[in-house]
C-alpha cells in the first residue's frame, strides 16, 4: 500500500524550501563586502559592454 501524505506538511516543507532559496539569493545579493560588490559590478559591466560591442559588430556586418 502507499503511504498517506499529510498535505499540510507537504505545503509547509515546500514553503520552507522556497524561503530558503530566497534567503540564499539574498545572502548572495546583499551579504557581500564593498570590494566584492565593486568587483562583480565591474565584471557585469565588462560582460555587458562586450555583448553590446558584439551585437554592434554583427549589425555592421549585415549592412
pLDDT tens-digit map of 41-59: 999 999 999 999 988 877 7
Domain ranges of the chain: 7-62
Written as nine digits, the cell of 14 is 515546500
Question: Residue 32 in contact with residue 40, Cβ under 8 Å?
Answer: yes
Q: Which of 40, 18, 42 is nearest to 31 (CA)?
A: 40
- Whether this prediction's pTM lies above 0.85 is answered by no
Question: Band of the pLDDT at 63, cuts 50, 70, 90?
Answer: low
Amino acid at each position: 500500500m502507499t503511504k498517506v501524505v499529510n498535505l499540510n506538511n507537504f505545503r509547509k516543507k515546500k514553503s520552507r524550501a522556497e524561503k530558503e532559496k530566497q534567503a540564499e539569493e539574498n545572502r548572495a545579493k546583499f551579504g557581500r563586502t564593498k570590494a566584492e560588490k565593486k568587483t562583480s559590478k565591474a565584471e557585469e559591466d565588462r560582460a555587458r559592454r562586450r555583448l553590446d560591442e558584439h551585437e554592434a559588430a554583427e549589425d555592421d556586418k549585415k549592412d
